[in-house]
Amino acid sequence: MKQILFDEVSRDTKVYEACDSYAQEYGLRNVDNMLDHLVNDTFRALIIIDEATDELYKVVKNFRFPVEVIEVETYQGAGGDHIYRFTPLFKDVSDVKESIEEREQKTVDISEFDTIVVPAREDGFKETFLGENRWYEIRIHASMIPQIKYIAAYQVAPVSAITHWALVKNIEPWQDTGKFIVNFAEPAKQIGPVPLVPKSRVKALQNARYTSFDRLQKAKTLDEVF
């Protein structure tokens, strides 16, 4: 991968000079050193495909770098026009209903996120989250995994609140599904509870969401978590 990038950059003198200038500006010796850092330390991959199969995830889980997968469905109209349907990357960072103006003014730094919050029903929560010190079949962005240090449980109605958190031991692929299992380093601890506020901007969790542990600890309601 490094060789492919180096060959491409070297094709154009202006591109090479721009990369070399960038490398020196950020304390890297040269382009070669910059590519070493890019490929070995921060490399991410994005696969855009029409169908994410078990075979694909079986291959992807063996890669040593994070791989995101986006499924794109294509529809063609009678006039030949195409429409593409897909879930945007990191859509679950925020599912709050906002106006276009509010979204344009809002800056989200995902590097601050170190906690994943998962919705849990009573039986699964007691049996698995508390009983087995783990939670599985979670959809997690592969590029987020290295920075996830904590997991929190949002108990669905009638509790409708975040009630427990745990320190993460490790995160591993769950079979060949593209989902993951989170193993805890120690039994879960109580927090709050941090309740859902009816008719507020944040709705009841239906999928995993990301936040920071510091924000979670200070939050009085779910609105302050996300």
Identify whether residues 27 and 61 lie together within a single domain. Answer: no
Say which residues have a Cβ less than 8 Å from residue 141's Cβ, sequence separation at least 6. 66, 68, 89, 90
pLDDT tops 90 at residue 188: yes
Which among 101, 92, 110 has a CA at the least distance from the CA of 205?
Answer: 92
Domain identity same for 127 and 210? yes
Q: Domain check: are 123 and 206 in the same one?
A: yes
Q: What CATH number should be reported for the domain holding residue 188?
A: 3.10.590
- Residue 164: how many CB atoms within 10 A of its CB? 20
Q: Are residues 208 and 102 in the same domain?
A: yes
Q: Do 27 and 53 belong together in one domain?
A: no
Say if pTM beats, i.e. exceeds, 0.85: no
- Quick check: 191 pLDDT over 50? yes
Number of domains, the chain: 3
Q: What is the pLDDT of residues 61-106, one digit of tens each?
A: 777 777 888 888 888 888 888 888 887 776 666 555 444 454 444 5
Do residues 73 and 52 share a domain? Answer: yes
- Shared domain check, 212 and 102: yes
Instruction: For the chain, give the mean pLDDT.
Output: 87
Q: What pLDDT, in 10s, does the model give residues 119-177?
A: 999 999 999 999 999 999 998 888 888 899 999 999 999 999 999 999 999 999 888 88
Q: Are strands 161-174 and 150-155 parallel, antiparallel or unpaired?
A: antiparallel
* Same-domain pairing of 66 and 111: no
Look up the domain containing 17 and give its range. 2-41
Residue 79 φ/ψ, nearest 5 degrees: -85, 0
